[in-house]
Homo-oligomer: A and B are copies of this chain.
Amino acid sequence: MKDESRDDLIDVNALFLGPKSENRDFFMQMLRFIMNDHADWRICYQPDDSPAFSEAQRSEPRFQATLQRTQQALVELAGRLQLSSVPWFSPRYLGHMNADTLMAANLAYMLTLLYNPNNCAYEGSPATTAMEIEVGRQLARLLGYHPDRAWGHVTSGGTVANYEGLWVARNLKSVPLAVREAVPELVTGRTEWQLLNFSAEQSLDLLDRVKAAGQMDAVRARSARGTGVTAGKLGKILVPQTKHYSWTKAADILGLGQDNLVFIRVDDRFRLDVQHLRETILRLAAEHTPILAVVAVVGTTEEGAIDPVHEVIRLRQELAAQGIWFYLHVDAAYGGYARAMILGADDQPIDLAELPAAFRRHHVFSEPLDWPDPDIYAAFRAMAEADSITIDPHKMGYIPYAAGAVVLKDRRVLELISYFAAYVFEKSEDNPMLLGSYIMEGSKSGAAVASVWTAHQLVPLNITGYGRIIGSSIEGAHRFHDALRTTPPYDFHSRRFRVHPLVRPDFNMVDFAFHEEGNPSLAAMNELNVRLWEKCSYKSGRMYSEDFITSKTALSREEYGESPCRFVRSLGIPEAEWDRLGSVYVLRSCVLTPYLVHQTSFVEYWGNFLRSMSRALQAVV
């Protein structure tokens, strides 16, 4: 990452196949090159081995028929894909967290697929296991961790990464109690409450002493992995109301129970309400209920909101003085790569005051943009203090599925989830990177890892690389938001409709709703937006013929408390309507495409959007 040429700016236009297959020739040329490279590799292995079959066998009718059937199967697949796939590649697609993926990542995936490495064990993947270790270090650096002390690896997705973070938190929480049973002299004088409030560092230092005493296996056997969970004993898991549903699944799967999830309110920008977090923790502590973990989200699934991680860290420091400690996992599945926006070409954080100049110097935005606000900036900086982080290459890394990742701040926790006996774990020459033994998954695709690794070779994880792609996406989202906010109303049959963005985006997701001027009914407004969504989504039939594709979300009291009420009131709908209905539908657009920044293309697509929404409105009202 350090060589000079890497500071050269990449050209975003040259990174993707493109909405009109603009880079098709290059793509095909590279594809030929890599496929021939692989085919030659086979031929050159043991050159004197005979072919598996003769030319005569090739001309047998059954051989030809099998090739023909292969072709038929591919034609059928190609047809099905063309008919019912989602045109992520187009700037007209503004729905979920999808866009075109990097050519380099796709080509790397395709090539590596033919070598078919399995990163479960080094023996099956000498090349790509090494790449996974590198990627883990790169992501650690991106997130502000020390690459030598942290540990990161690729998972099949953010859900599994979240499980792994909570798995570590659970087993770590059980350590001091396990030490009390197995080697009580190491924790003499400590109350149970103190043991349940050991910091990660305290617990891991304690484990170092346990290891020195030769009691590691005894302690592991008495930790949650050995004894199993006793429901509630290890405390509550605090997650913001904006939570991804993977947390509900995680509490189930890890045996902790959904009863032990506590939901923390979000503010009217849909960010974690740290005051409510503080009150909740103090209330639980007063009942002597420990906190197993707190989850903060960097890029919520439905709003793209960025929780104030820095305030959570400050709260943790404050509470530590009162003998209360909690594990912090940051779910940055969506927003994690955006930390590249605040890192300079040397991968070091840039001060907030210097960011605008750095953005200009590296052409991050095509025109000045007031982003990030100080809270977002501080949240990104503070991620480095979290105990573990989920970050998905297959979201803002512009990598094809399936590639999530989890990064743990202190790699010593691995011994708590490792399959191996403690002594094996240390002898790495006996066990050269048997990844499957200290991650949740087993067999895993080396091709997915090679895809991420190649993308990282090409696109630096700082302002000169991903910062530029993600910057384009953030700029596009803000342009879209501003255009929504200022566009004139639609008038039909003496009815007037306006579009209202939910909030100014923290990141690159824009939620918005159409509303008829003077309509006092939240139910009517909800129905309008659901019907619009039905016109501009997979619901409306073949997506391929859609003018514009979006997604939707319902902000309900059950999930969001009273946070959506301000938006409802701002539309002139009486608060009583919200009280009664408790749910507001909004359309939801993730602007991952990097193509909405140039004045010309934004104007073209914005015009398309207006016409398309106008047609949709006319059709539904």
Contacts and interface: CB of A to CB of B under 8 A. Distances in A.
A387 to B, nearest CB: 18
Given A225-B251, A225-B258, A392-B443, 14 more contacts: A10-B62, A10-B69, A21-B42, A45-B544, A78-B111, A85-B126, A96-B124, A110-B110, A116-B400, A160-B160, A167-B252, A228-B260, A244-B442, A394-B443
Contacts of A245: 419, 436-437
A537 B87 CA distance: 45
Interface in A583-615: 595, 600-601, 604, 608
B156 A249 contact: no
Interface in A392-445: 392, 394, 400-402, 404, 417, 419, 436-437, 440-445
Interface string A240-277: 00001110110111111111100000000000000000
A81 interface: yes
A116 B397 CA distance: 14
Interface stretch (A180-188, A352-360, A453-461, A568-576): A453-461
A74 to B, nearest CB: 6
A95 B126 CA distance: 14
A15 interface: yes
A46 interface: yes
Interface residues of A, number: 168
10 contacts: A11-B65, A21-B39, A28-B35, A49-B90, A86-B124, A157-B443, A159-B442, A226-B258, A229-B229, A402-B402
A538 interface: yes
A129 to B, nearest CB: 9
A224 B446 CA distance: 35
A260 B39 CA distance: 49
Interface stretch (A99-107, A137-145, A192-200, A208-216): A99-107
A84 to B, nearest CB: 4
B252 A81 contact: no
A361 B147 CA distance: 60
Nearest 6 CB-CB pairings of A with B:
A255-B255, A228-B257, A159-B442, A228-B231, A229-B255, A14-B66
A73 interface: yes
A18 to B, nearest CB: 5
A73 B454 contact: yes
B123 A538 contact: yes
A81 B46 contact: no
A540 to B, nearest CB: 12
B255 A65 contact: no
Interface in A86-131: 86-92, 95-96, 98, 101, 103-104, 106-118, 120-128, 130-131
B52 A13 contact: yes
A458 to B, nearest CB: 5
Contact of A46 (B69, B112, B128, B547): B547
A320 interface: no
B248 A419 contact: yes
Given A37-B78, A229-B257, A157 B442 contact: yes
